[in-house]
């Protein structure tokens, strides 16, 4: 599902540099990435999603070279194939919860918004325990509620790949287990692949494989 070769990336006006000789995630795999803050884990997710482009090398998702697309192509590919749970949620404060969940369908013609999609959005919100918050604006939610809305938005298009950046980081222990169960159930039901960045080592036994991202910074390929 994910194949990275000879990747080099650096931010302008920064001494940060990321080198990944080789990295692969197989279809339907559930992979966790751990490692120290600032090592480049979120940067990796952004490169896979096409939010960032490498200085050199190749990033492919589902056999498609994301790194070779233009901005519009990467955006449409990301919206239709990748569900991204951002660490800072990326919700729009001026929209209510249901409109935030449906937002990917409103910004591209690559997705069709119909009654079935709306019903699925409501069902996801109910499952996540925020079904009674659909008319509230995002800035009226708690951090944990924002987290759950962001997960609903990522799952709604039933993407082939889920990228999760600390997806359970703002949830209390009871909700963390519940939401993680729902996330894994949804992924399994659609044969999706999960790549999750996490600092929560209690979650690691639930994954098929765990990678310490420091290995990449030390030049050890996965």
pTM over 0.95: no
Evaluate whether residue 152 is within a structural domain: yes
163: β partners: 84, 195
The residue range of the domain holding 74 is 2-217
Evaluate whether residue 82 is within a structural domain: yes
Mean pLDDT of the 77-103 span: 94
Evaluate whether residue 80 is within a structural domain: yes
pLDDT of residue 85: 92
The strand order across the sheet containing 82-85 reads 82-85, 161-165, 193-197, 30-34, 209-212
Evaluate whether residue 140 is within a structural domain: yes
What are the pLDDT digits (tens) for 32-83?
999 988 889 999 999 999 999 999 999 999 999 999 999 999 999 999 999 9
User: Which of these, 157, 173, 143, 57, lies nearest to 101 by C-alpha position?
Assistant: 157
Count of structural domains, the chain: 1
Evaluate whether residue 222 is within a structural domain: no
Evaluate whether residue 192 is within a structural domain: yes
Distance separating alpha carbons of residues 54 and 95, to the nearest angstrom: 33
C-beta of residue 118 within 8 angstroms of C-beta of residue 102: yes
Evaluate whether residue 77 is within a structural domain: yes
What are the pLDDT digits (tens) for 161-175?
999 998 887 778 877
CATH number of the domain where residue 189 is located:
3.40.50.300
């Amino acid at each position: 599902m994910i194949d990275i070769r000879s990747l080099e990336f650096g931010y302008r006006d920064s001494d940060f540099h990321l080198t990944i000789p080789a990295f692969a995630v197989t279809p339907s795999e559930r992979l966790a990435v751990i490692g120290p803050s600032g090592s480049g884990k979120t940067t990796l997710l952004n490169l896979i999603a096409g939010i960032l482009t490498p200085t050199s090398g190749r990033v492919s998702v589902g056999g498609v070279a994301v790194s070779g697309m233009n901005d519009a192509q990467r955006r449409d590919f990301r919206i239709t194939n990748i569900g991204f749970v951002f660490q800072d949620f990326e919700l729009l404060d001026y929209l209510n919860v249901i409109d935030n969940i449906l937002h990917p369908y409103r910004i591209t013609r690559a997705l069709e918004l119909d009654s079935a999609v709306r019903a699925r959005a409501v069902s996801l919100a109910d499952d996540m325990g925020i079904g009674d918050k659909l008319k509230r604006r995002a800035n009226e939610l708690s951090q944990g509620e924002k987290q759950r809305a962001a997960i609903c938005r990522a799952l709604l298009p039933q993407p082939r790949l889920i990228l999760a950046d600390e997806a359970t980081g703002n949830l209390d222990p009871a909700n963390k287990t519940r939401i993680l169960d729902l996330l894994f159930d949804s992924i399994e039901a659609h044969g999706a692949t999960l790549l999750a960045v996490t600092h929560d080592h209690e979650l690691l036994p639930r994954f098929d494989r765990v990678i310490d991202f420091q290995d990449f910074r030390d030049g050890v390929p996965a």
